[in-house]
Amino acid sequence: MLELRNVSYTVTDNGKKEILKNINLTIDDRFVVITGPNGSGKSTLAKIIAGIITPTSGQILLDGVDITEMSITERAKAGISFAFQQPVRFKGITVKDLINLAAGRKLNFTEACNYLSEVGLCARDYINREVNASLSGGELKRIEIAMILARGTKLSLFDEPEAGIDLWSFNSLIRVFEAMHESIKGNILIISHQERILEIADKIVLLKDGEISQIGTKDEIMPQILGTSGVCPQIKE
Amino acid sequence: MAMKLDKIQLNLLEQVADLHEVPAGAYNIRTNGTSAGRSTTANIDIVSKEDKDGIDIIIKPGTKKESIHIPVLLSESGIEEMVYNDFHIGDDADVVIVAGCGIHNGGDLASKHDGVHSFFIGKNAKVKYVEKHYGYGDGKGEKIMNPVTVIEMGENSYFEMETAQIRGVDSTNRKTIAKLADGATLIVGEKLLTHGTQQAITEFEIDLYGEKSSAHVVSRSVAQDDSYQEFISRVYGNNECNGHTECDAIVMNNAKVTAIPEIKANHTEASLIHEAAIGKIAGEQLIKLMTLGLTEKEAEEHIISGFLK
């Protein structure tokens, strides 16, 4: 269970700007989806949870333990995994290296193959590939998700997992999340704009201008998001 | 010839040639300025030079799947030497040559190995050349290596050169000069890591004289602490040819790196590319590995060892 208490984040680069204001949120459901317009602070919130950004004020607790002062490494060890919106490329580091690092041990071929096939990649073709510019954005994105599977931590955080997932279907992505919950029994927190991901959420958090504007089930939130997004109907279609 | 190597020399041998003992096949091991052992085969002859320090390695045309090891080991402080090794590789041969220099300097005098390796490669011959440089020892004496490699490539020959110098060598000034005939292919991969106050200068000068000749030079380096690196690469296209030179460097701490790629087309059908990139380790790479549970230091080590792999 993850708890955010009065988390705020302000930047003072070009005049003071509040990115997040008094976020109070408890995540103890299977799938929680954070959604909201661009610039509402979703990715910042994910980075605060992973320890990449330090909040200006507030407290973060994981299973009742205060992790606010913990580094990225300590939080990773405490059980937080984070799939980046834009996965990182590494010259010379292979898919196998990353999956092994994620798992925290040397996996055998079958084990690595299991994680990669979950995300629709054939281990034989990918295991020794370098995670460099030769991989497409969609391939990197799937490897990023496979790493989260290999980690198997109690909290898994995905920042827009659907972005750039090329030929691989949404259904497969959703099946991965479901299988992941089956095997790990942890909490899965997804940042997404995608209606089909919102549909599997047990809880939807709507973020607007750095504040939580609503929290509720998909039946409560979905009609409002889809009905009052302020986008002209032509674009929506 | 029976030969004995001490512990220090065996360690150097392992570092520069991945050998745990005296190798099979043709070899010439030079320790502290003299030849310590030599073995030849039916197809490969090794002859000492009469007029200067060094050897001639003669590989018969058509020699296939044989290897030649010629490590140089310096384990006494204060030795300075200049060695000339010439490789005559016959037409259609296909061989692996492993050279390398290991210096252990436990004293306060400088140890220095300068070597000129010249390759005369016959038509259609294929050579893989591996060269490693390694130095250690706690003495104040500097470990200096200045290798020169001259490669003359015959028609449709193929030469692949792998060089590595990871830590340990205080000062290096390396020069590689190649001339390619029709259809010849040259591939060079250089790995370099300097630290402390080390200095490494590497210079390539490649002349593509032949029609459809091609050269690819790729250098990957990491400069740490107060070290200095300079990468100079000149690729000249004098015919219908392909040339590519690439330098990719990670700079850390107070280190400095200069990259000077130069390409020159003396022919309208010459196609030449140069790339050079220098920068620190990307912050997002460190962060990604830290989200997998690695400390910043461990993440840095993984990124560097992958980069130089």
CATH number of the domain that A167 lies in? 3.40.50.300
DSSP letters along A1-25, please?
-EEEEEEEEEE-BTB-EEEEEEEEE
Residue the block writes with tokens 């060892």: B305
Indicate yes or no: CB of B287 within 8 angstroms of CB of A72.
yes
The dihedrals phi and psi of B45, each to the nearest 5 degrees, come to -115, 145
Determine which helix (DSSP H) or strand (DSSP E) holds A234, and give its type and residue range: helix A233-236
CB proximity B306 to A under 8 Å? yes
Cα separation of A8 and B73, whole Å? 63
Length of chain B: 309
Identify the pLDDT of residue B293: 97
Answer yes or no: do B282 and A73 touch at CB < 8 A. Answer: no
Q: What share of chain A is helix, strand, coil (3-state, %, to 5)?
A: 35, 25, 35
**How many Å lie between the alpha carbon of B305 and the closest alpha carbon of chain A?**
8
Low-confidence ranges of chain B (pLDDT < 70): 1-3, 19-23
Rounded Cα gap, residues A99 and A104, in angstroms: 8
Q: Is residue B285 part of a domain?
A: no
The answer as to whether B195 is a domain residue is no
Q: How far apart are CA A223 and CA A215, in angstroms?
A: 13
Q: What is the pLDDT of residue A21?
A: 95
Measured N-to-C along each axis, helices A95-103 and A137-151 cross at an angle, to the nearest 10 degrees, of: 30
The whole-angstrom distance between B228's CA and the closest CA on chain A is 22
Residue A237 forms part of a structural domain: no
Contact B306 A91 (CB under 8 A): yes
Q: How many domains does chain B have?
A: 1
Using alpha carbons, list the distances in angstroms from residue B173 to A96, B185, B199, B204: 37, 25, 8, 11
pTM of the model as a whole: 0.86
Residues of B in contact with A81 (CB under 8 A): 291
Chain-centroid distance, C-alpha A73? 17
Q: What does the block give as tokens for B143?
A: 């470990």
Among the residues of chain B, which ranges form H helices?
A: 7-17, 283-290, 296-307
Q: How many domains does chain A have?
A: 1
Q: CA–CA separation, A8 vs A209, rounded Å?
A: 12
Distance CA B112, CA B132 (A): 15
CB A53 within 8 A of CB A34: no
Please tell me the distance in Å from B142's CA to the nearest CA on chain A. Answer: 32
- Residue A235 resides in a domain: no
- Say if A104 is an interface residue toward chain B (CB within 8 Å): yes
- The range of the structural domain enclosing residue B90 comes to 1-169
Pairing state between β A2-11 and A57-62: antiparallel
**What is the residue-level pLDDT of chain A in tens, covering all 237 positions?**
999 999 999 998 778 889 999 999 999 989 999 999 988 999 999 999 999 999 999 999 999 999 999 999 999 999 999 999 999 999 999 999 999 999 999 999 999 999 999 998 999 999 999 999 999 888 999 999 999 999 999 999 999 998 877 656 778 888 889 888 888 888 999 999 888 889 889 999 999 999 999 999 998 988 877 765 555 556 544
Q: What angle do CA A218, A224, A225 make, to 5 degrees?
A: 80
What whole-number distance in Å separates Cα of residue B198 and Cα of residue A154? 47
The closest of A161, A101, A168, A89 to A129, measured between CA atoms, is A89
**Residue holding tokens 């320890």?**
A51
Which chain A residue has its CA at the smallest distance from B302's CA?
Answer: A93
- Report if residue B209 sits inside a domain: no
- Residue A189 DSSP label: E
Among residues A161, A122, A163, the alpha carbon closest in space to that of A145 is found at A161
The pLDDT, as a whole number, for residue A237 is: 46
Q: What is residue B266's DSSP assignment?
A: S
| Chain B residues with beta carbon closer than 8 angstroms to that of A52 | 287, 291
Give kind and range of the element (H or E) at residue B143. Answer: strand B143-153
Asked if the Cβ–Cβ distance from A93 to B303 is below 8 Å, we say yes
Check residue B22 and give its pLDDT: 66
Is B174 a domain residue?
no
CA A141 – CA A162 distance, rounded (Å): 8
CB contact under 8 A, A73 and B248: no
Q: Is residue B202 part of a domain?
A: no
Q: Tokens 């909040």 sit at which residue?
A: A55
pLDDT at B124 (0 to 100): 98
Backbone angles phi, psi at A137, to 5 degrees: -60, -40
**What range does the domain containing A13 cover?**
2-230
Cα of first residue to Cα of last residue in chain A, in angstroms, is 38
- The answer to whether residue B56 sits within a structural domain is yes
Q: What is the DSSP letter of A223?
A: H
> Phi and psi for A233 in degrees, rounded to 5?
-60, -30
